[in-house]
Amino acid sequence: MEISLEGKVAIVTGAGPNIGSGIALALARYGATVACNDIDPAAAQACVERIERNGGTALAIPGDVTDEQQVTGYIDTVVERFGHIDILVNNAALLGGKGVLDESAEFFQRAVEVAGLGNFLNTQHVGRHMAENGIRGSIVAISSSNGWSGTAGVIAYAFHKGGVNNFVRAAAMDLAPYGIRVNGFTPTAPTPDNPALIAERGPGGVLDRPRAHGIGGETGDEPWRRPSRWTGERAPLVPMGTTGTPTDIGHAVAWLCSDYARLITGCDLVVDGGARAKNFAYAPAAPADTAGPVPLIPLDITGELDRDL
């Protein structure tokens, strides 16, 4: 049984070098033609070049997902060039931020705008294109573990990812009569595996880095401040020892966009080694003591990945 997206055309928003690029590459490796959007034209172009290096077909469609004219402009470009759109992945987001005591109204508003308007405008205009043309397509909204449970230091992110989760369920109801499916996908701090990103930042992900840049936000140094998180040694967090990579996400999203998933709508798919299913009081075995997952099936055939990811 081969999963094939041959003949399908996809748009991936926010196709920066980490997860967006991983999803775009996967859709292309499974056969789709992929239009790569980003507010940063260089990021969109780099994603196109990564896909082309791997034998796929792609087009850069730079633009701001919160600007309706730009959104309809790049959607029209894709339709003019390739005739139709079958897949939309709403991936663009502003990460980072601060906790509720420290976040600025400006950042909060923009982060919510990128997630809220980005999902809304792209889903509306691609959804209309699909409905008008009888295309029973697939729309995926990228969420986060922060949309399902609380972490200190990311109040805007927590707010808009929680919103994305229910946007998916409501949009799934709106589009079900047209045979268009809408689902969420929840990444959980994957370890980057884009060779270009590893060359730039070095190996490892957020869980491998020193705690100051990891989970839980910074606080100020006023005398009344309380710590936002446990600062002792970090217990293992993931039952299978790893949350995986953007390639793992890409395989799953490609399957979710394929016709094999024809009746899956209004759901959330998570690839996290069991992290979200874990009871709060349970600390899994140390990664070194677990069997770990089966080896990753790579999708970037141009870069040598000789590490255990």
Ligand X SMILES: NC(=O)c1ccc[n+]([C@@H]2O[C@H](COP(=O)([O-])OP(=O)(O)OC[C@H]3O[C@@H](n4cnc5c(N)ncnc54)[C@H](O)[C@@H]3O)[C@@H](O)[C@H]2O)c1
Q: Which residues bind to ligand X, rule: CB under 6 A? A: 13-14, 16, 18-20, 37-40, 43, 64-66, 91-95, 114, 142, 144, 187-189, 206
| Min separation Cβ 10 and ligand X, Å | 16
- Of the pair 208, 259, the CB lying nearest ligand X is at 208
| Residues pairing with 270 in the sheet | 186
Q: Which residues are catalytic?
A: 157
What is the C-alpha separation between 135 and 263, in angstroms, rounded? 15
CB 63 within 8 A of CB 71: yes
| Min separation Cβ 18 and ligand X, Å | 3
- Of the pair 38, 86, the CB lying nearest ligand X is at 38
Q: Which residue is nearest to ligand X (CB)?
A: 16
| Residues pairing with 87 in the sheet | 10, 138
- Of the pair 64, 193, the CB lying nearest ligand X is at 64
- Of the pair 138, 144, the CB lying nearest ligand X is at 144
| Min separation Cβ 157 and ligand X, Å | 7
| Min separation Cβ 221 and ligand X, Å | 27
